[in-house]
Amino acid sequence: MSSAISSLKMMYNMERLATALYKAQTRAFHEKEMLNRLTAAAANEQQHVDNLNSRIKDLGGSSSRVGFLFQTAGAIFGFLVTFAGKVFVLRTDIWIEKRAIRDYGSYMQNVQFDEDTVGLLQRIVADEERHVATWQDSIARIKSSTDKS
Ligand SMILES: [Fe+2]
Ligand SMILES: [Fe+2]
């Protein structure tokens, strides 16, 4: 298996974790805007899962066989972290997104990908950067609403 395909499988697994994480975190929030943001992020992570999976297939690879393990880990972690409060949840999300951006960057530096794959990875990184900005904005919203009350 080429290292491009095995790297894409690892990214695919992490994206499955992220999808399950955001789905599980919706239980921590009741405000409509926050639920919308989490639902949109989960759908966006699912697109990353699907796009990486089809890229793996296009390159002649097979689907990762351990994706469900990462999905389960994301669901459990996403559920547990909600007990620590909203701001903590969002800070964790920012940490995970930044970590993902860093990982994508180092894969792109160290692995020889074809042009189409690089384009896909760059679009994914742009989405992850948007997620960081969304959670930073969400923390600011939560803090300003608790200051007022
Ligand atoms: Fe993602
Ligand atoms: Fe993300």
Average pLDDT over residues 132-138: 98
CB atoms inside a 10 Å sphere around CB 42: 19
CA–centroid distance, 146 to ligand 1, in Å, is 30
Residue 39 has pLDDT above 80, yes or no: yes
- Token pair, residue 93, equals 């999300």
Task: State pTM to two decimals.
Answer: 0.94
Identify the three-state secondary structure at position 98: helix
Residue pair 1/61 in contact (Cβ under 8 Å)? The answer is: yes
Average pLDDT over residues 140-145: 93
What pLDDT was estimated at residue 1?
Answer: 54
CA–centroid distance, 45 to ligand 2, in Å, is 6
What pLDDT was estimated at residue 146?
Answer: 80
Q: What percent of the chain has pLDDT over 90?
A: 95
d(CA 149, CA 144): 9
Average pLDDT over residues 6-16: 97
**Which residue, 14, 26, 3, is CA-closest to 69?**
14
What pLDDT was estimated at residue 71?
Answer: 97
What pLDDT was estimated at residue 147?
Answer: 77
Q: What is the per-residue pLDDT across 67-122, written as a single tens digit (0 to 9) for each?
A: 999 999 999 999 999 999 999 999 999 999 999 999 999 999 999 999 999 999 99
Residue pair 72/25 in contact (Cβ under 8 Å)? The answer is: no
CA–centroid distance, 57 to ligand 2, in Å, is 22
